[in-house]
């Protein structure tokens, strides 16, 4: 990264060095341009951009998530998330209050890893420890970032000062937990049947910490883009 920046500084008198050539600079009010540029960036950033220090997001590795509530204990570890590269940008905008939002539709996401659960999930007992797999047919998510600015070597850069998000599963979710009730199939099958028949209720109850952890990793990588690429290469106003 330092070599790339150094080269750009040396060659700035002769070339227009774009650190993120996959970004199409847009005016803040040009929603069509913003959407087009963001969609292209999804595919590129998902693969990782080593020159900007951006790690691959598909697959994404999440070490640990505590999704426990007052009714149950749920720990997910060594989770691998696949499918983020297929997310579609439905809307994106920048406001005068330095707020940037993006709404995404993400189909066919898959989470696999290790789990531990104890207590009640919805209204049934759920106990077990082993491997898990969650398949999400489609989720919708909106992320709102509060943006700031910093100056460095005469350039202006965006910063992500804070963010919040909201997500919802709009198509069926399938839950699969191995070794529930120590392999007793009768109880395991009953719990799985109820969970998968009531997939949206389970999502609302258990998914928020999981989705927040995934979003946190994504925002952290996007922040690296803003850290290294000056605003003039990302926006026209």
- Confidence bin at 149 (pLDDT 50/70/90): very high
Would you say residue 131 has pLDDT above 50? Answer: yes
What is the architecture, at CATH level 2, of domain 22-233? Super Roll (3.15)
Average pLDDT for the chain:
90
Nearest alpha-carbon partner for 52 in 89, 87, 13, 8 = 8
Residues 6+ positions from 43 with CB-CB distance below 8 Å: 85
**H/E segment holding residue 206:** helix 199-228
Residues 6+ positions from 131 with CB-CB distance below 8 Å: 112, 113, 114, 115, 177, 178, 179
- Confidence bin at 237 (pLDDT 50/70/90): confident
d(CA 62, CA 65): 8
CB 117 within 8 A of CB 134: no
- Torsion angle (degrees, nearest 10) of CA 182, 187, 191, 194: 170
Helix (H, G, I), strand (E, B) or coil at 171: coil
- CA of residue 64 relative to chain centroid, distance: 15
Q: Which residues of 84-111 are buried (b: 16+ CB within 10 A; e: fewer)?
A: bbebebeebebeeeeebbbbbebeebeb
Could you check whether the bond before residue 59 is cis, i.e. omega within 30 degrees of 0? yes
Condensed to tens digits (0 to 9), the pLDDT of residues 6-29 reads 334 333 333 345 778 989 999 999
Taking residues 146-155, report their average pLDDT. Answer: 95
d(CA 74, CA 2): 42
Taking residues 90-97, report their average pLDDT. Answer: 86
CB 233 within 8 A of CB 18: yes
Phi, psi (rounded to 5 degrees) for 60: -110, 135
Which is higher by pLDDT, 96 or 177?
177
Could you tell me the residue ranges of all domains in the chain? 22-233
């Amino acid at each position: 990264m330092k070599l790339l920046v150094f080269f750009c500084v040396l060659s700035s008198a002769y070339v227009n060095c774009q650190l993120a050539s996959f970004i199409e600079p847009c005016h803040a009010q040009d929603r069509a341009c913003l959407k087009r540029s963001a969609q292209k960036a999804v595919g590129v950033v998902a693969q990782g951009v080593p020159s900007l220090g951006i790690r691959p997001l598909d697959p994404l590795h999440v070490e640990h998530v505590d999704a426990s509530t007052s009714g149950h204990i749920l720990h997910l570890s060594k989770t691998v998330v696949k499918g983020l590269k297929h997310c579609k940008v439905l809307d994106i905008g920048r406001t005068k209050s330095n707020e940037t939002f993006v709404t995404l539709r993400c189909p066919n996401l898959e989470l696999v890893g290790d789990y531990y659960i104890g207590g009640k999930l919805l209204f049934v007992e759920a106990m077990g420890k082993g491997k898990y797999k969650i398949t999400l047919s489609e989720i919708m998510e909106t992320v709102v970032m509060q943006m700031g600015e910093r100056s460095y070597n005469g350039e202006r850069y965006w910063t992500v000062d804070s963010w919040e998000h909201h997500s919802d599963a709009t198509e069926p979710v399938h839950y699969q937990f191995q070794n529930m009730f120590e392999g007793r199939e009768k109880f395991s099958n009953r719990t799985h049947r109820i969970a998968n028949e009531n997939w949206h209720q389970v999502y609302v109850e258990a998914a928020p910490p999981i989705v927040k952890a995934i979003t946190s990793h994504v925002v952290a990588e996007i922040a690296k883009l803003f850290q290294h690429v000056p605003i003039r290469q990302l926006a026209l106003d």
